[in-house]
């Protein structure tokens, strides 16, 4: 699993043996089981999560119903906003599949940056990239009908549609499972 992380980082900058060793020494990898909850609503955390293998899901519970807001798969990461504000989390994070993830805290990141200043640059580039991706997703979400959102997902993250239970996918798209089912029917009919 280290190799997957190193390859990801090396998209941004080369890593020396010492730098790789420093990452390995952090001992950040963790296996989580399908449906395991990594963060509960109301819980305090200092952790950022990064998916090496598998799929994580963020969801809120509103009036007793789950509202899924995000999925994170291979080489995607998230820091809950409650980490920075040091407040209770407003949402849950759960594993959709058996997964291997890395967890890190800002203290650990600061430590590595103090030892290897170029990680500062890495973190900046990663944040900038995530910011851009999120901005594109947000704009697309605002501009799209549920049908267009589903089409975007088919184009950009087709694997997700296979991996994620339909009711979670419907919630993520902001529609009912019945509407999703009708929508899939229409799209299949069109493409035949």
The residues binding a copy of itself (CB under 8 A) are 58, 60, 62, 67, 69-70, 78-79, 81, 84-85, 90-91, 117, 120-121, 123-124, 127-132, 134-139, 141-143, 174
Of residues 142, 148, 146, 155, the one with CA closest to residue 179: 146
Q: Closest separation between CB of residue 142 and a copy of itself, Å? A: 5
- State which residue, 1 or 132, has the beta carbon closest to a copy of itself: 132
* Measured distance CA(97)–CA(53) in Å, rounded: 9
Residues 6 or more apart whose Cβ sits within 8 Å of residue 136: none
- State which residue, 25 or 84, has the beta carbon closest to a copy of itself: 84
Q: Closest separation between CB of residue 144 and a copy of itself, Å? A: 10
Please, are residues 19 and 116 in contact by the beta-carbon 8 Å criterion? yes
* Measured distance CA(11)–CA(13) in Å, rounded: 6
Q: Closest separation between CB of residue 47 and a copy of itself, Å? A: 15
């Amino acid at each position: 699993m280290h190799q997957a992380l190193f390859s990801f980082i090396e998209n941004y900058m080369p890593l020396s043996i010492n730098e790789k060793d420093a990452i390995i020494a952090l001992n950040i990898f963790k296996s989580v089981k399908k449906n395991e909850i990594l963060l509960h609503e109301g819980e305090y955390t200092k952790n950022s999560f990064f998916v090496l293998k598998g799929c994580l899901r963020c969801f809120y519970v509103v009036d007793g119903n789950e509202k899924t807001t995000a999925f994170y798969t291979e080489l995607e990461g998230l820091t809950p906003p409650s980490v920075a504000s040091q407040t209770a989390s407003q949402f849950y994070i759960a594993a959709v599949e058996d997964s291997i993830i890395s967890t890190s805290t800002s203290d650990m990141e600061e430590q590595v940056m103090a030892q290897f200043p170029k990680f500062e640059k890495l973190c900046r580039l990663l944040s900038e990239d995530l910011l851009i991706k999120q901005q594109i997703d947000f704009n697309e979400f605002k501009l799209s009908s549920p049908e267009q959102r589903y089409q975007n997902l088919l184009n950009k993250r087709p694997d997700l549609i296979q991996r994620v239970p339909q009711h979670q996918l419907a919630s993520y798209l902001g529609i009912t499972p019945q509407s999703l089912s009708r929508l899939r029917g229409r799209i299949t009919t069109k493409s035949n």
